[in-house]
């Protein structure tokens, strides 16, 4: 690792032809900041108002990186990398830069040295060159391999082995070698943003290539994070902690439930014993949510990438989804709410009711795990369509 940073000025060659001046201004803005007062040259850049915004934001990320790592001497020349007409090349570079910025800003650690150079994909220097790289590896999200009945979420890319140097606030430098570091170039069905564009995925599953598995010896197989509630209009920072950095909870009453680990499980499974609506147990059979393998993995699993809790209609020996829906429908019908059907186009929800002024008698729903119950807030059980005047 080097303590000096080599920053790359990325010049884009794409098939669009509008707003030349905006593209040039965006690149000159970025190069001005990156080269400590020595503007770079914008050359042969096709034009698009939309592309100009992308270039501008790309340079914002590069500038963040520049401010976080060691400064280069005055007048240091910038590398110019021609990406060609490949959209995937642009996205891969963008994701790579964003991952490095995220890595530095997301923890108490600061990178003391990180040296990188963007080179052509077909160059012998490239880690993607056939003789130099790991065998291309396909990474699939949990939903694509497990929750096939929900949606096929998938990301594909190339993995390589990298070394990172970290500087702790009150300790000596820490070097972590041979960490699998991937760059995706094909993302499908990610609903976080339009066009499935995401910055990065940090894996914490039980697979051998997840970050928690790779660092298991250093973190004593422990990590901790808290999920903020999905309250409308609020965005909260979340902290991921490892090993000895995990604080002890202030509350004296801490409920916990053991993982239901199988011999070859790659995912975090829980022992769900029953479901309650308004504190009334549904009295599901003991094996309704037990792990069974019949071409798919059945059971109750944690997927923190999904904003919804999903109850399958094919649970063991009973349609758990139908039982829970009938209990919720019985509750709302008892208050005389008017049920309505959704139009043929648009989102499909089975149980919808027209709004009733002043109504707030919503049901509670609890998941009865082994040794602990989790009670869900009604606000996260329903979706309100204000324009349509109904909830689903």
pLDDT digits (tens, 9 = 90+) for 12-60: 333 333 333 444 444 444 433 333 333 333 333 333 445 444 554 555 4
pLDDT at position 321 is 87
Higher pLDDT, 333 or 199: 333
First to last CA, the chain: 54
pLDDT at 215 over 80: yes
- Residue 68 pLDDT > 80: no
pLDDT at 165: 73
pLDDT band for 91, please (50, 70, 90 cuts). Answer: very low
| Residue 267 neighbours by CB distance under 10 Å | 18
Q: Determine the pLDDT at residue 281.
A: 93
Strand pairing category for 8-11 and 79-82: parallel
Average pLDDT of the chain, as a whole number: 63
The yes-or-no verdict on residue 77 having pLDDT over 70 is: no
User: pLDDT value at position 31?
Assistant: 39
Picking from 42-46, 257-261, 328-332, 375-379, which range would have the lowest pLDDT averaged per residue?
42-46
CB atoms within 10 A of CB 138: 12
- The domains of the chain, with CATH numbers, are 8-201 (no CATH), 254-391 (2.40.70.10)
What distance lies between CA 132 and its chain's CA centroid? Answer: 29
State the alpha helices, DSSP H only, in the chain. 20-34, 49-68, 87-105, 142-145, 211-214, 216-219, 320-333
Which of 74-88, 222-236, 307-321, 377-391 shows the lowest mean pLDDT across its residues? 74-88
């Amino acid at each position: 690792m080097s303590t000096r940073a080599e920053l790359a000025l990325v010049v884009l060659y794409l098939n669009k032809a509008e707003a030349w001046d905006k593209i040039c201004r965006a690149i000159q803005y970025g190069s001005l900041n990156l080269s400590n007062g020595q503007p770079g040259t914008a050359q042969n850049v096709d034009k698009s108002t939309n592309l100009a915004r992308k270039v501008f934001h790309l340079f914002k990320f590069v500038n963040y990186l520049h401010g976080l790592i060691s400064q280069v001497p005055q007048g240091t020349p910038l590398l110019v990398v021609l990406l060609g007409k490949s959209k995937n090349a642009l996205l891969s570079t963008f994701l790579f830069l964003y991952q490095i910025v995220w890595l530095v800003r997301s923890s108490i650690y600061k990178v003391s040295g990180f040296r990188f150079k963007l080179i052509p994909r077909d160059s012998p220097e490239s880690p993607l060159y056939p003789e130099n790289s790991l065998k291309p590896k396909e990474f699939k999200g949990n939903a694509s391999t497990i929750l096939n009945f929900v949606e096929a979420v998938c990301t594909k890319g190339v993995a390589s082995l990298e070394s990172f140097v970290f500087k702790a606030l009150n300790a000596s430098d820490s070097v972590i070698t041979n960490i699998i570091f991937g760059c995706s170039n094909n993302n499908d069905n990610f609903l976080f943003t339009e066009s499935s564009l995401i910055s990065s995925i940090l894996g914490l599953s039980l697979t051998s290539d997840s970050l928690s598995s790779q660092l298991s010896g250093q973190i004593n197989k422990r990590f901790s994070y808290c999920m903020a509630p999905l309250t409308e209009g609020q965005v909260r920072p979340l902290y991921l902690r490892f090993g000895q950095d995990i604080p002890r909870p202030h509350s004296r009453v801490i409920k916990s439930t053991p993982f239901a680990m199988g011999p070859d499980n790659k995912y975090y499974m829980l022992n769900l014993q029953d479901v309650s609506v308004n504190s009334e147990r549904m009295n599901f059979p003991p094996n309704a949510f037990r792990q069974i393998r019949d071409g798919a993995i059945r059971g109750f699993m944690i997927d923190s990438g999904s904003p919804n809790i999903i109850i399958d209609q094919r649970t063991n020996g009973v349609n758990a989804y139908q039982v829970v829906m009938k209990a919720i429908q019985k509750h709302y019908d008892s208050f005389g709410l008017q049920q309505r059907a959704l139009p043929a186009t648009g989102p499909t929800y089975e149980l919808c009711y027209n709004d009733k002024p002043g109504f707030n008698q919503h049901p509670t729903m609890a998941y009865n795990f082994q040794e602990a119950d989790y009670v869900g807030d009604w606000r996260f059980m329903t979706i309100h369509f204000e324009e349509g005047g109904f909830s689903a």
